[in-house]
Amino acid sequence: MENLTILENEWYVLNDMLGDLKSRKIQVSASVSENLRYTRFIITHYKESPEGEVHTHKDYLMDLEVTLNNVKANLFAKAQELGEDYVAEWKKKIDEAPLKNPPQRKKTFVKGVTRDSGLDFVRIKLDRIEPESELVQIAKKHQVTIEIEEKGIVAVSGVRDNVREAIREIAKKYF
């Protein structure tokens, strides 16, 4: 888990860097944002899994590290447009990232969801609108409830293990 914390810290710095580059009107490839969303999804998945569950597969962590390194390379290539001082500032932040604790995520109360320890509830923001029929098939297959809350946001609820499997399938298809 220690390696995951270091990668999460780096993710926060890269996410901030992306936001800063965009605010300075630097064009960054859409794949950088997609890769950051993908890596955030994996980090969150691992962090929110029960401690007793051994799930830190080395290939996922390696994939996470490789993807973050690709994001870093793309962002630093774009940062060159703003000069060496800008690049040096962000390199320093990346180097300091492993020394910091990641920010604490706020737990949000979701009205109407029971606090039964065997049940789980997850909201997912999809990049693109998917046919409702595909989501219905995933819900039936994994015996969960999938509700479309608003444009691009779906809520998945049900038995914890079933929700995890449904989310994995959604991630494979839509991320």
Helix H, strand E, coil C: the string for 77-137 is HHHHHHCHHHHHHHHHHHHHHHHCCCCCCCCCCCCCCCCCCCEEEEEEECCCCCCHHHHHH
Q: Which domains, and CATH codes, for the chain?
A: 2-99 (1.20.1270), 119-174 (3.30.1370.10)
More confident residue, 175 or 47: 47
- Look at residue 113 and tell me whether its pLDDT is greater than 50: no
- Look at residue 10 and tell me whether its pLDDT is greater than 70: yes
Q: From the CB of residue 125, how many other CB atoms can be counted at a distance below 10 Å?
A: 11
> 7 and 40 in contact (C-beta within 8 Å)?
no
Check: pTM over 0.85? Answer yes or no.
Answer: no
What's the pLDDT band for 111 if we cut at 50, 70, 90? Answer: very low
Task: Output the CA torsion 81→89→76→47 (10° steps).
Answer: -150
Residue 44 belongs to what H/E stretch? helix 30-47
Task: Output the CA torsion 128→130→135→138 (10° steps).
Answer: -70
- Look at residue 172 and tell me whether its pLDDT is greater than 50: yes
